[in-house]
Amino acid sequence: MTSLKTDRSSVPSKRIAGRRTVVRALGLVAASAICLTAAPRSAHAVGSENFEWHWYSRLGMAWSVYGQNIQGASMNLLGFGIGGRYEEDDYSEPSFVAHVVKGATPDDFFVKSEMTFAIWKQYGGPFMQPASNGGQTITVQFNQAYIEAGNFLTPGLSVWGGARFFREQYAPIGDYFYLDDLSGQGGGIKYENLNLAILGYRGFGATTPAYNIDPDPTIPGDEIERFRTIFAGNYKFEFGGEAKHHVKVHAEAHVLQAAKQGSGIPTPANGKADFGGVIGAKLHLGLGQGNWSDTSVRFGTGIANGAAGGAKTYQTWGAANDEGTFAGSFGIEAVEHVGFRIGDAAALEGLATFHYTKAAYEAPAGVTPTAAGPHEKQMDFSVQANATIFAHKNFHPVVEASFQGRKDGVADLGTAVKVSVVPTLVPTGELSAGARPHFKLIYTAAFYNDAAREQALSAYLQRTGAGSNVGHYIGARTDWYF
């Protein structure tokens, strides 16, 4: 799978860059210290009446018994956090909210603006140090920058514009947004339980389908750029009274214009117009006593077939067909996410995922597909269970286990069993799996079958050389949000 993190490093001078990053690092450290000391005993926003500051961050270190650098090297076969997120790399996401117009009651007209940054590091080095990741840049980008007017014209109606997350369903133990995970630049409206948006998305580099097309390499400056337009909407039907059950239906239409330069000019072979559609639904059951169950299924077609490894629908999978389009392809996502509370003794969370994708590409007659690809299909699954034990109000040891599988095309099925033991200090004393900040010691063991090891299906196996069927991850991490 392709990483969403792109290298935008630009270091004109190591000496100048080093001085600048020292100042930035010290500033971030000071801000972190002030923020943590000012944080309340539970995770709430910090700010004044008209201003809020939210912050999610995780920073840590990792060691391997083999001596390799495994900082941020996931042991999962699916990528990202599905199957266990304790090997995730350093990441920080500060968010600022300004209440431009703040009503006296929730039904009053309001205007708010939100700006969210994503900060991560390159090349697996430390997140912050005097040399700022060994002289390489730390990447900073906008995740959100939008303004919203609520209770506009009528109570319950809001309108927004800018760049924004368009998502709701989240499984914390897998760091996984599912069903409706869209983000982009555009606008939308919301009325009661109806949510509509138009979002623009553009890929960079060598992508499928192509967004940057050069019709004639011999002619400089004739490149064509295009982007995908996504029309998305969902509606939530509530029932069950105090149980607060609901069914949520979700739909998307993806449109990719042809890469044409004008009337009568031929369209490049890799720049044809293409389309995709998505339909999905989620059933939420409130089971009482803090227990719940979420069951979700999503089906996407054409250029909206993204599903493999938990991909977003606009992350099109596979190669195009003989006509240069993705007609005939599809992707399926199925998720079961549950949570149970055992009084003040423990909190349990479970996550099961299944993804199947069929490419538009089909091997020509007489050609036998090989494990090296191109692949006509992909399948992966995971079953994960997490237990947070409230041994003491300030000590919450966590035990987690998962079983994962992945099969790319005709290659053999790779599997992994992961077990994590995570002693966790919780200064706030809040008896909740979501209490923050956390100070964690982490040990994870992963047991791979021969197919997973030989194909190096995880970032950990790729980093360590895939010399063993057993992997060990030893780490320490602090994470917080408010």
Tell me the pLDDT tens digit for each residue of 254-303.
999 998 877 777 888 888 999 999 999 999 999 999 899 999 999 999 99
End-to-end CA distance of the chain: 31
Report the C-alpha gap between 55 and 175 in whole angstroms.
Answer: 16
Quick one: pLDDT band at residue 5, thresholds 50, 70, 90? very low
CB 420 within 8 A of CB 398: yes
Please report which confidence band the pLDDT of residue 446 belongs to, taking 50, 70 and 90 as the band edges: very high
Q: What is the pLDDT of residue 182?
A: 95
Report yes or no: 339 and 292 within 8 Å, Cβ to Cβ.
yes
Report the greatest alpha carbon distance in the chain.
Answer: 74
pTM of the shown model: 0.87
- The token duo for 445 is 């063991």
Band (23; pLDDT cuts 50, 70, 90)? very low
Task: Answer whether residue 29 shows pLDDT above 50.
Answer: no
pLDDT at 135: 59
Q: Is the model more confident about 98 or about 206?
A: 98
The pLDDT score that the predictor gives to residue 127 is 59
* pLDDT tens-digit readout, 337-371: 999 999 999 999 999 999 999 999 999 888 888 88
pLDDT score at 120 = 87
| DSSP calls for 214-251 | -S-TTSTT--EE--EEEEEEEEEEEESGGG-EEEEEEE
Residue-range domain boundaries for the chain? 48-57+78-121+136-435
Domain 48-57+78-121+136-435 has CATH 2.30.300.10: no
Higher-scoring residue by pLDDT: 373, 381: 381
What mean pLDDT is predicted for residues 455-482?
A: 93
In sequence order, what are the beta bridge partners of 276?
254, 302
Mean pLDDT of the chain: 88
Q: What is the DSSP letter of 123?
A: T
**pLDDT of 323:** 93
Give the pLDDT confidence score for residue 47 in this predicted structure: 64
Per-residue pLDDT, averaged over 227-232, amounts to 96
Report the share of the chain in percent with pLDDT over 90: 69
